[in-house]
Amino acid sequence: MAVDLSFLLILTGLTGIHSITIVRKVSVKSGDSISIPCLYGSQYRNNMKYLCKGYYINSCSYAARTNKQSSGRFSISDDKNQRIFTVTINDVTDVDTDYYWCAVEINGGADVGEYFHLSVTTGTPRLYVDHQEITGFNGEKITINCYHRNPGKLRWCGLDGSCVRSSGSINGTRVTIDARAPNVFIVTMSGLRTESSGWYACIKGDFQMPVHLTVTEKLTTGTTRGSTRHEKTLRPHAESDEEGM
């Protein structure tokens, strides 16, 4: 039986289908940084996107926008090919705890957007990962530790709406989840492909933590016959359960 994707998005903590799809609730430790991906419809590819702070979209204050160079702790970037704009808040503090909107400016009409709530803690966040940006290699596997101190069901989801609870696949990549250890579930993605690249999210209860995966070829270099072959690894700069997200 077909299931409405917008209903599935609500079940998994992601929201938005007709305008923008984002995570809904994020916890981060004071002093850290957080990046939030905002997936938008193709009809908004050339519109100005922005992040604003406040409970209501029609009265929120701009934090960053794509038609103005970013400054301060807030930044925004727009990948028009993937139809995702990413907002980043650096060096978060208690005053950053609030509602925010990922929004698109509509000329001659009401802007469209979806909100998320950012909770800044002085101690351990409700849900977090070692790194939001990770790199894997074609044909290999990668593991992600999703640490939590939050009750509720766990999931590993793609921003497009596909999810796994224990084992399954997302974008043709095998996914297994090991939740035997306390306060952490370990996600393993096997048989990585270039198409596996993109945004995912650890989800536990009503909190989500976005993770961006980049899959590349492992570079190998060889010399002439009889000499030693060296391998060089590229590094970055710096329920089966399966259901829709």
What CATH number does residue 26 fall under?
A: 2.60.40.10
Q: Which pLDDT belongs to residue 127?
A: 98
Strands 133-137, 142-148: pairing kind = unpaired
Instruction: Tell me the average confidence (pLDDT) per consecutive run of 10 residues in the chain, 245 residues long.
Output: 35 58 96 97 95 95 92 93 96 97 94 96 96 96 96 93 93 94 97 95 97 91 43 39 44
Displacement of CA 174 from its chain's centroid (Å): 18
pTM: 0.81
> Are 115 and 13 part of one and the same domain?
yes
Question: Residue 91: its pLDDT value, please?
Answer: 97
Residue-level pLDDT at 13:
53
Name the nearest CA neighbour of 208 among 162, 160, 161, 146: 146
Please tell me whether residues 117 and 138 are part of one structural domain.
no
Domain region containing 26: 5-121
The partner residues of 50 in beta bridges, in order of sequence, read: 65, 103
Give the span between the Cα atoms of 37 and 82, in whole angstroms: 11
Residues 233, 184 share a domain: yes
